[in-house]
A and B are shown apart, each in its own frame.
Chain A
Amino acid sequence: MHALSGVSLAIEPGEFFGLLGPNGAGKTTLINVIAGLARADAGTVSVMGADTVSAYRRARRMLGVVPQELVFDPFFTVRETLRLQSGYFGIRGNDAWIDEVMAHLDLSGKADANMRSLSGGMKRRVLIAQALVHKPPVIVLDEPTAGVDVELRQGLWQFVGRLNRDGHTIVLTTHYLEEAELHCSRIAMLKAGRVVALDSTHNLLAHFAGSRTTARVIARDGTQFTLELSGYDQLEAELARLRQSGVEIADLELDRPDLEQVFLRLTS
Chain B
Amino acid sequence: MGFTTLFRKEMLRFLKVSVQTVAAPVLTSALYLVIFGQVLEGRLQVFEGVRYISFLVPGLVMMSVLQNAFANSSSSLIQSKITGNIVFVLLAPVSYLEFFWAYVAASVVRGLAVGGAVLAVTAWFVELRLEAPLWTAAFALLGAALAGALGLLAGIVSEKIDQLAAFQNFVILPLTMLSGVFYSIHSLPALWRGLSHGNPFFYMIDGFRYGFFGASDVAPLVSLALVASAFLAVATVCLLLLKSGYKLRT
**Which segment of B78-86, B135-143, B158-166 sits at the interface?**
B78-86
Q: Which residues of B contact A80 (CB under 8 A)?
A: 12
The interface-forming segment of A87-95, A100-108, A146-154, A237-245 is A87-95
Q: Nearest Cβ in chain A — how far from B245, in angstroms?
A: 7
Digitize A23-43: 1 where CB-to-B-CB distance is under 8 Å, 0 elsewhere: 000000000100111110000
Report chain B residues within 8 Å CB of A208. none
Contact of A37 among B12, B80, B83, B90 (CB under 8 A): B90
Contact partner of A87 (CB less than 8 A), chosen from B4, B13, B245, is B4
A222 at the B interface (CB under 8 A): no
A36 touches B85 (CB 8 A): no
Residues of A38-68 contacting chain B, CB below 8 A:
38-39, 56-58, 60-61, 63, 65, 67
A214 interface contact, C-beta 8 A: no
B residues in contact with A58, CB < 8 Å: 93
Q: A3 CA to B9 CA in the complex, in Å?
A: 34
In the assembled complex, how far is the CB of residue A86 from the closest CB belonging to chain B, in whole angstroms? 8
Q: How large is the interface on B (under 10, 10 to 19, 20 to 34, 35 or more residues)?
A: 20 to 34
Enumerate chain B residues within 8 angstroms of A7, measured Cβ to Cβ: none
A88 touches B245 (CB 8 A): no
Whether B85 lies near A60 (C-beta < 8 A) is no
Q: Which residue on chain B has the smallest CB distance to residue A80? A: B12
Measured between alpha carbons, how far is A92 from B4 in the docked complex, in Å? 11
Complex CA distance for A75 and B8, rounded to whole angstroms: 13
Decide yes or no whether A145 CB sits under 8 A from chain B.
Answer: no
Interface residues of B in 54-69 (CB under 8 A from A): none
With contacts A71-B84, A80-B12 taken as known, whether A56 is within 8 angstroms of B249 at the C-beta atoms is no
Given contacts A39-B245, A65-B91, A90-B1, contact A73 B85 (CB under 8 A): yes
- Neighbouring A residues of B95 by C-beta, 8 Å: 57
Cβ contacts A114-135/B at 8 Å (1 or 0 each): 0000000000000000100000
Contact B84 A88 (CB under 8 A): no
The CA-CA distance from A37 to B6 in the complex, in Å, is 18
Number of interchain pairs (Cβ within 8 Å): 75
Residue of A nearest to B76 (CB): A75
Asked whether, in the complex, the Cβ of B249 is within 8 Å of the Cβ of A90, the reply is no
- For residue B112, give the distance in angstroms from its CB to the closest CB of chain A: 21
**Nearest B residue to A69, CB-CB:** B84
Find out whether the CB atom of B80 lies under 8 angstroms from the CB atom of A88.
no
Contact of A76 with B by CB under 8 A: yes
Beta-carbon contact of B12 and A85 below 8 Å: no
**Cβ < 8 Å to A, chain B residues 191-250:** 245, 249-250
Q: How far is the CB of A141 from chain B (nearest CB, A)?
A: 14
- Cα–Cα distance between A137 and B4 once the two chains are bound (Å): 25
Given contacts A57-B93, A60-B93, A85-B92, 13 further A-B contacts (CB under 8 A): A36-B91, A36-B249, A37-B91, A37-B249, A39-B249, A39-B250, A60-B92, A73-B83, A73-B88, A75-B17, A84-B9, A88-B5, A89-B92
Pairs across A and B, CB under 8 Å, 8 listed: A39-B250, A61-B93, A71-B88, A84-B5, A88-B89, A88-B93, A89-B92, A89-B93
- 8 tightest A-B contacts by CB? A87-B5, A88-B92, A71-B84, A57-B93, A90-B1, A60-B93, A38-B250, A73-B85
